[in-house]
Amino acid sequence: MGIPRNKFYISANDLTSCPSGVFYKKKKTPLPLVHPRIAEIWQVFGRLQEKGQKIQKMVMEEWQRGNVLVSPERFIPWNDFGITGKYDAIVRINGEFILYEIKGAGKQIFDNELDKPEPFDAHRSQVIIYHYFLRKNFPGIKAKILYVERSGDRRLEITIEYEDKEFLKNLEIVKSFQEALDKDIPQQPKPTIAWNKFQNRYDLSMAAITCKYHALCLKDDKWYEKAVLEVREKNKKEGYE
């Protein structure tokens, strides 16, 4: 696709985040006030991230002992689109290269009523981006997400398959970011409420909860209280509670 070389770098995480929030972050906009409950959630996420790093280290050490670790955490290859990010690991098992993203997970990824195991959508998008840029250097490489339960011993491997058109959507997102920054016009934020496929109910979207600019994106510093009420009413109305 004829997308010009980027004026900035954008991470795989940003590509799966709220585009409006990424716009304000790229513009180095001062952070708006945050609701106390959201601040508490961010603190919990910080502790979970630390736990996730310990889990990743543990798994890496297992692969090292098994002499299958080919590449530890590294940046994906440089590319003309300005997309960057660090993949977790590449291993070689029975002569086959596998790209792994290692994620600490709660019970909802293991205990649900889905017909087959599914990853979080953002995790799927993330590993697709990494795989697309690595497959030239590692022909035939497969992509997998490894979920490791934070409070137990359970593990779940999910193989990720995709068509190129699914990845190419990211290039359109990059282009839209460039245009938004050039025109100094923020993009539309992701929805505040989303369907939680693991819990089979509506919930606040992760994009909204993790976006540090969501009050600014919505131009509403009361968005959290309103969204919690809307989720409760929506689930009650549609019989999910």
Q: What pLDDT tens digit does each residue of the chain (241 aa) get?
A: 444 444 578 999 999 999 999 999 999 999 999 999 999 999 999 999 999 999 999 999 999 999 999 999 999 999 989 999 999 999 999 999 999 999 999 999 999 989 999 999 999 999 999 999 999 999 999 999 999 999 878 999 999 999 999 999 999 999 999 999 999 999 999 999 999 999 999 999 999 999 999 999 999 999 999 999 999 999 999 888 6
Does 109 fall in a domain?
Answer: yes
Residue 241 lies inside a defined structural domain of this protein: no
Chain centroid to Cα 164, Å, comes to 19
Burial of 155 (0-12, 13-18, 19+ CB in 10 A): middle
pTM, full prediction: 0.92
Contacts of 151 (CB under 8 A, 6+ apart): 106, 107
Is there a domain that residue 212 lies in? no
Residue span of the structural domain in which 133 resides? 10-186
Answer whether residue 182 is part of any domain: yes
The answer to whether residue 215 sits within a structural domain is: no
Domain total of the chain = 1
What is the CATH number for 104? 3.90.320.10
In a domain, 102, yes or no: yes
Any domain includes 234: no
- Helix axis angle for 164-183 and 121-134, nearest 10°, is 100
Strand-strand pairing, 89-93 and 96-105:
antiparallel
